[in-house]
Every structure is written in C-alpha cells, then in structure tokens.
Amino acid sequence: MKKSFAIERRDQILRFITQKGRITVDELIDKFKVSGATIRRDLEFLERQNLIQRTHGGAISRSRVIFEPNYSEQMERFLEEKRRIGKEASKLVEEGEVIFLEASTTVLQLAKCIRGKRNLTVVTNSLDIARELEKSEGIDLILTGGTLKRRTHALIGPLAEVSLSQVRLDKAFVGISALDISCGITMATLEEAQTRKKIHEAANEIIVLSDHSKFGRQNFAYIAPINSIDVLITDRGIPEEMKREMERMGVEVRVV
C-alpha cells in the first residue's frame, strides 16, 4: 500500500509542477502532509526519470513533459484531420467483428462514420461514443463501466479493467496523448495508463488514430512500446523520419 501511495503522490507532484511551472519543497510538504525527506526523495525520483529539474528548495517543469489539454479545445483542434483519419479507419471495420472504440476525440470521428454498419459489436469506455452509436440498430453496444473521468467523458479504473479482462476484441481503435520513438506510448495519469494497458491485452489488433500534434512528445505514465501498434492512421503532418522509423519497427502507417 505504501508503494501505491508513493506512486499516486509522485503523479500528483508532477502534475502540480507541470501546471505551475515550479514548486517549492515547503509547498509540497504542506500539500501532502509528509516529511521534507519524503518530498526530496520524490523529487529525486522524478528527476531521475527526466521528468523535472530540481532547484534549490524545489523543482521546475521540463517543457517536453505534457499533460492533456482542455477537452473542449481538444475536440476542435485539427478537426478536419481527425475527420479524415476517422473515415480511413472506418475502412478497417468489418461485418461480424467485435471492436473497441477508446475514449478519444479522434476515435469519436470514427464512430460517426460507422453508425450505419450492421452486425457489429462495439465495446467502448466513452460516453460520447456511446451517445453517438446508441440509435444504431445494427450495432450491439457495450460499455465497460468504471469511474467517470469527467474531463474526457471516459470510464477508467478497476471496474473498467475487470470488464476488459473478460472479453476478446478483434480490433481496438485507440487515440494517444503522446508518442515518442524512444519512450513509446504514454498518457497523463497512471490510472488511465492502466486501463489502456488492459485494452491492449484484450485486442488482437491495435489501431492508433492520431493527428500529428501528438508525435515526438512524452507524458507521465507509460503504456506500451511503439511496436505494440499494428496500424497507425495519421495526417500529413507526421515527420517523414518518424514515419520511416515506425515502419522499420513493423507498424503500418497510413497517412490521409
């Protein structure tokens, strides 16, 4: 239990530092009600992970570590690119399949493209996607359950993970918040990352839908390496060098 508390505390510390830009040891002691020695160990750990930079009496953020933007803003960013990506992804959805649609603004565009599909089972952890498909009579719709993350309308956590462990999926269509060749796929929080790992474990094929803004970036919580991706569908903004490197690692890259 103590280890899990430390992980959660470090997760929160990193979020505070990233959001504020800098923070002092005294502020963290007051926030978490732990000793200065404990906070300094936490900061040392985060610095070893290259996530922060320690300063005299505190720490500052490293700009390359990112956290999720406002969800409503994310919905509108690169909207045309996301629509093209969703349309291309719909070509990979076949009759009779069981597919997973992850809570993602890009995957939501895929959901809009498959409303008329027949004989299809869709499992999702997204309230937005469930609303999009609720009137599609040819689609059997299953929600994972779980704790609602209001910021993204996603169901995550232990209940979601239990339901995912009970199913097998032909394909999982997932979004990403950050992808880097050396660091793999990462997300903002440990809880989200754990749910996402269960999605990967349940699916025979992982199809990532992402606009180019997520590439060359890293987030706090690790999910999986690049070669866990079977297909990446993205827009023309992907750096050519990254495209070639991902293809070398066995990923099919589709640019639309």
Using the predicted structure, report yes or no on whether residue 36 has a pLDDT greater than 60: yes
The whole-angstrom separation of Cα 174 and Cα 126 is 11
Average pLDDT, the chain: 90
pLDDT in tens, 84-123: 999 999 999 999 999 999 999 999 999 999 999 999 999 9
pLDDT in tens, 137-163: 999 999 999 999 988 999 999 999 999
Domain with CATH 1.10.10.10 in the chain: 2-61
Using the predicted structure, report yes or no on whether residue 244 has a pLDDT greater than 80: yes
Average pLDDT for 189-207: 95
Q: 144 and 155 in contact (C-beta within 8 Å)? A: yes
Query: In sequence order, what are the residues at sequence separation of 6 or more whose Cβ sits closer than 8 angstroms to the Cβ of residue 49?
Result: none
Q: Which two tokens stand for residue 203?
A: 């699916």
pTM: 0.75
Domain with CATH 3.40.50.1360 in the chain: 71-255
Report which residue type is found at 156.
I
Query: In sequence order, what are the residues at sequence separation of 6 or more whose Cβ sits closer than 8 angstroms to the Cβ of residue 228?
Result: 184, 185, 200, 206
CATH of the domain spanning 2-61, picked from 1.10.10.10, 3.40.1280.10, 3.30.450.20, 1.20.58.1290 = 1.10.10.10
CA 253 to chain centre: 19
Using the predicted structure, report yes or no on whether residue 237 has a pLDDT greater than 70: yes
The whole-angstrom separation of Cα 117 and Cα 115 is 6
Q: 190 and 145 in contact (C-beta within 8 Å)? A: no
Q: Which two tokens stand for residue 121?
A: 């089972």
pLDDT score, position 1: 43
Q: Is CATH 3.40.50.1360 the right assignment for the domain spanning 71-255?
A: yes
DSSP 31-93: HHT--HHHHHHHHHHHHHTTSEEEETTEEEE-TTB-----HHHHHHTTHHHHHHHHHHHHTT-
Q: 15 and 151 in contact (C-beta within 8 Å)? A: no
Provide the H-helix boundaries in 146-239: 158-165, 190-202
Average pLDDT for 22-38: 91
Helix (H/G/I), strand (E/B), else coil: 209: strand
Using the predicted structure, report yes or no on whether residue 75 has a pLDDT greater than 70: no
Instruction: Give the range with max mean pLDDT: 54-63, 155-164, 180-189.
Output: 155-164
Range with the poorest average pLDDT among 63-77, 187-201, 228-242: 63-77
Query: In sequence order, what are the residues at sequence separation of 6 or more whose Cβ sits closer than 8 angstroms to the Cβ of residue 21?
Result: 60, 61
Average pLDDT for 218-245: 93
